[in-house]
Amino acid sequence: MTFLKHPDSVYIGGEWQAAPHREAVINPADESLLIEAPVGSAEQVEAAIAAARHAFDHSDWPHVPMAHRQALMSRFLDAIDERRDEIVRMIVAEAGATQMLAGFLQYGIPMKHARRTVEVASRPPVTSLPVELTPNAQGTTTLGTGVVSREPVGVVAAISPYNFPFFLNIGKVVPALLAGCTVVLKPSPYTPMEALILGEIADQVGLPKGVLSIVTGDIEAGRILTSDPRVDLVHFTGSDKVGEAIQAQGAPTLKRIVMELGGKSALIVRPDADLAQAAMAGLGGFTVHCGQGCALTTRLLVHNSVRAQFVESLKGMLGHVKIGNPSDPTVSYGPLIREVARKRTEQYVAIAQDEGATLVAGGKRPAGFDKGFFFEPTLFDNVRNDSRIAQEEVFGPVGAVIGFDDDEEAIALANASDFGLAGAIYSTDAGKAYEMALRLRTGGVAINGGAGTMLSDAPFGGIKRSGYGREYGEDGLNEFTYQKVISFSAK
């Protein structure tokens, strides 16, 4: 299966350059070779930064009317949509996403967000401040006011992970370019194709040279991007441990950083909840994309009066999960990304059992899968909230059920975490759920399933070890700008 027109090259300053090294990218479902992907050199990463810096400082890209950038980015998105089926196949093969997940969440939602971001970019770039009257030394009154101008922050290093690569590549590149920034995009070595294809789209629509570069590479490539003084903003999605390193690497240049990191989000099930609905949400909280999602609700806080019934319902649902190669459209649950992820999941299963948790279902590699990095969806009950399985991000298909006796305890348990990205509450008392949501220390809370979609105008991000800054909507667009105040008085 051929995916890329330039399978051996990185995209620098509007040109394709052959990389000095190649690395196998494999399908996590069957371990077949997808591509010998390019691995950019340190010199190529440096060249990409230089191209982005030159394009920002010496071209008219940051200064052209917003309508021009909106039109160009709309053509960019149109060109992506023309290749939708090809990209969805790429997501299935490269990231191991099921076909439903690939088409709806990994492709459809980011494109919805991107289209909305193009619309949001029409907001006034300059806003007025209130008039102030100030007595002056001449015995008269000064009529003073000013404006606030939002301007592009500069060169952006966008670093994306392997779990939702197309989603996050689009979520970084589109708002950055709309804001007038220039971008160097570095994808995960596991999923480079979903980034490199954007270089082909950039060529097709005539994106100005240097405005977007795409480089692949290892830890050293990332270190260059996060420490180079020519980079103004690092926009990163990944683990909290890598986030620590990026913050340290950016500190000497006081670089702006936006980071969306890990999570250990809580789903609270009150005693009056619709248990069938809550159990279905609980199932998704640790099985969607094999548990490889930072905002997944992997801590299931369930009122003790309904906990046994909830666990039994969830156990029954797990029996209907179809594990397999996601190239099969009937499969609802695919593989982990690599063997290292599967081994990590196995280690946490052992840790949970050592800590006294009760294994309800799963806990092992499924029978009959000689190829691929599959692991059964795994559920534990009788989990202590202070245990490692409840506090540390597994990034694998493991759900932990924790009992509580009243709302105050549920809130305390949910907040007793180093992370704060997402959350959910199920209750037929929507008002009480709303009151509880206001007290949860997290970036977002969904009540009874939320809005039915990921809202494109909603700022997304976390607190504590889940990172800082926001993505999507006007807040996400503003992360790629800085504010300049221009003041003046009437004369």
| Farthest-apart Cα atoms in the chain, separation | 90
SS percent in the chain: helix, strand, coil, step 5: 40, 25, 40
Q: What pLDDT score was predicted for residue 218?
A: 86
pLDDT value of residue 491: 77
DSSP 8-class letter at 83: T
Residue whose C-alpha is closest to residue 165's, from 85, 245, 97, 82? 97
Q: Could you give the angle at the alpha carbon of 479 between the alpha carbons of 453 and 101, nearest 5°?
A: 30
Residue 453, classed as helix, strand or coil, is coil
Claim to verify: residue 433 and residue 362 sit in the same structural domain? yes
Inside any domain, residue 3: no
- Please say whether the beta carbons of 437 and 445 come within 8 A: yes
- Report whether 227 contacts 217 (CB < 8 A): no
Specify whether 334 is located in the same domain as 441: yes
DSSP label of 105: I
- Identify the pLDDT of residue 240: 96
- Same-domain check for residues 234 and 334: no
Same domain as 149, residue 129: yes
209 and 124 fall within a common domain? yes
For residue 438, the enclosing domain spans: 266-458
Q: Tell me the CATH number at 49.
A: 3.40.605.10
User: 460 φ, ψ to 5°?
Assistant: -115, 130
Tally of structural domains, the chain: 2
Q: Tell me, what's the pLDDT at 62?
A: 97
Q: Which two tokens stand for residue 479?
A: 């992360």
Q: Is residue 78 part of a domain?
A: yes
289: nearest Cα among 206, 167, 173, 384: 167
Both 484 and 365 in one domain: the answer is no
Q: Which residue has the tokens 């709303």?
A: 434
Residue 4, domain member (yes or no)? no
Question: Which position has the token pair 């649902």?
Answer: 317
> Domain containing 345 — which CATH number?
3.40.309.10
pLDDT at 294: 96
Same domain (yes/no): 118, 206: yes
pLDDT for position 58: 98
Q: Say how far apart CA 342 and CA 373 lie, in whole Å.
A: 6
Residues 257 and 275 in one domain: no
Are 176 and 314 found together in one domain?
no
In this structure, the answer to whether residues 327 and 179 fall within a common structural domain is: no
Same-domain pairing of 15 and 153: yes
Whether residue 355 lies inside any domain: the answer is: yes
- State the DSSP H helix or E strand holding residue 488, giving kind and residue range, or none if neither: strand 481-489
- What Cα–Cα distance (Å) separates residue 310 from each residue in 277, 281, 391, 413? 10, 11, 22, 18
pLDDT of residue 1: 58
Task: Tell whether 237 is covered by a domain.
Answer: yes
User: Is 2 a domain residue?
Assistant: no
Q: Which ranges of the chain have pLDDT less than 70? A: 1-2
Cβ count near 91 (within 10 Å): 26
Q: Is 244 a catalytic residue?
A: no
Question: Is the residue at 330 inside a domain?
Answer: yes
Whether residues 484 and 416 fall in one domain: no
Catalytic residue among 46, 260, 376, 393: 260
